[in-house]
């Protein structure tokens, strides 16, 4: 999937998390930023990705050590990040946003023909039975749908309020 699709999905994850946890404005903004970043994080192994371009050296090292879509797209990577977040005593709501953001990335990449090495270091490729080409029409529609979903989730209380007002007239 393209960075855009991953970021939109991270945005939706963030929006749903803030709604579910009923967080205040500051926490909500932080949650959304964290979930968007973490939804892009697994592609650090890709030197041409949004992250890879920004952190060239880190990206190069990750790619050299593990290759693309291996360790950073696996359960062992997610477990490592959870452990690190736990060590620095990350508040639970930030942890939830980061972890679900990363999981959303892995799930979306399973929907591409290339799949992911979910059980790395085991070299088993996991691909969803239904998969789409990266950058294709489905990818683009998915990005749009996820983005619209995120905006709707965020502004749902206002939308409901407005419709109620409109209906009562």
Which positions touch Zn ion (CB under 5 A)?
42-43, 109
- Beta-bridged to residue 126, according to DSSP, are 116
Q: State which residue, 15 or 73, has the beta carbon closest to Zn ion.
A: 73
Least distance from Zn ion to the Cβ atom of residue 42, Å = 5
Instruction: For tokens 């371009």, name the residue.
Output: 53
Instruction: For residue 92, count CB atoms less than 10 angstroms from its CB and return exposed for 0-12, middle for 13-18, buried for 19 or more.
Output: exposed
CB 13 within 8 A of CB 27: no
In the bound state with Zn ion, the residue whose beta carbon lies nearer, of 45 and 154, is 45
Q: Measured from the CB atom, is 110 or 154 closer to Zn ion?
A: 110
Give the nearest distance from C-beta 91 to Zn ion in angstroms: 27
What's the min distance (Å) between Cβ of 77 and Zn ion?
A: 11
For CA atoms 110, 133, 71, 30, the dihedral sign is negative
């Amino acid at each position: 999937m393209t960075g855009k699709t991953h970021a939109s999905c991270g945005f939706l994850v963030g929006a749903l998390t803030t709604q579910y946890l009923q967080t205040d404005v500051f926490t909500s903004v932080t949650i959304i930023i964290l979930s968007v970043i973490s939804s892009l994080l697994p592609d650090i192994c890709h030197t041409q990705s949004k992250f890879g371009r920004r952190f060239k050296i880190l990206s190069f090292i990750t790619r050299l050590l593990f290759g693309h879509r291996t360790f950073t797209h696996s359960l062992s990577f997610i477990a490592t990040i959870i452990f690190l977040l736990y060590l620095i005593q990350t508040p639970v709501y930030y942890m939830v946003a980061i972890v679900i953001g990363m999981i959303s990335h892995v799930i979306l990449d399973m929907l591409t023909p290339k799949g992911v090495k979910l059980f790395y270091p085991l070299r088993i490729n996991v691909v969803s039975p239904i998969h789409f080409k990266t950058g294709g029409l489905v990818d683009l529609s998915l990005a749009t749908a996820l983005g619209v979903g995120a905006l709707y989730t965020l502004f749902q209380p206002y939308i409901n309020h407005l419709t109620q007002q409109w209906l009562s007239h």
